[in-house]
């Protein structure tokens, strides 16, 4: 108990870090959002899925998945009409780590998009898998 009292900030930092590492994907699973690996995302893309990048413009220009459509999460609700032609196709949402794209999946599902997936680990997982990016 004495250790906990003396190191409360360290313990809080550990808890917050743990949540940031696993909380986003756990919340995505609990909300019913389908999580896909980079390899699964490539298979979906090869079968006509839309890769939807919801990062901010500055992040997108630094490098993105080839042929992905860019709509920042902050603009997604107002630009759902831009995605209407993809309503019957699979959509894989992408962000930096998978948290914002998980939120985007929720928005899309509420708008009637049925086949929506979140790229687990985001563009960071994509890069770690050795898949290409373009600028």
**Residue 134 located in a structural domain:** no
Q: How far is CA 54 from CA 5, 32, 81, 96, in A?
A: 41, 19, 15, 9
Provide the mean pLDDT of the chain: 89
| pLDDT score of 17 | 67
**Residue 35 located in a structural domain:** yes
Q: Which domain holds residue 46?
A: 2-128
**Residue 77 located in a structural domain:** yes
**Residue 133 located in a structural domain:** no
Active site residues: 95
- State the pTM of this model: 0.78
**Residue 65 located in a structural domain:** yes
Instruction: Encode pLDDT of 6-58 as tens digits.
Output: 888 877 777 766 665 555 445 445 456 899 999 999 999 999 999 999 999 99
Residues paired with residue 64 on neighbouring β-strands, in sequence order: 134
**Residue 104 located in a structural domain:** yes
**Residue 118 located in a structural domain:** yes
Total domains in the chain come to 1
| pLDDT score of 9 | 81
Measure the CA–CA gap between 80 and 127, rounded to whole angstroms. 28
Measure the CA–CA gap between 125 and 37, rounded to whole angstroms. 8
List strands edge to edge, sheet with 50-53. 34-36, 116-119, 91-94, 50-53, 69-70
**Residue 90 located in a structural domain:** yes
CATH number reported for the structural domain that contains residue 48 in this entry: 3.40.250.10
């Amino acid at each position: 108990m004495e250790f906990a009292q003396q190191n409360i900030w360290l313990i809080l930092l550990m808890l917050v870090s743990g949540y940031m590492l696993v909380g986003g994907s756990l919340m995505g699973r609990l909300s019913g959002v389908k999580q896909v690996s980079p390899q699964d995302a490539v298979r979906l893309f090869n079968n006509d899925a839309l890769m939807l990048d919801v990062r901010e413009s500055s992040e997108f220009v630094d490098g993105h998945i080839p042929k992905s459509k860019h709509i920042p999460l902050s603009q997604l609700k107002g630009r759902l009409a831009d995605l209407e032609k993809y309503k019957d196709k699979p959509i894989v949402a992408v962000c930096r780590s998978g948290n914002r794209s998980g939120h985007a999946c929720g928005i899309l599902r509420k708008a009637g998009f049925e086949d929506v997936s979140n790229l687990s680990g985001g563009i960071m997982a994509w890069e770690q898998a050795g898949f290409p990016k373009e600028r």
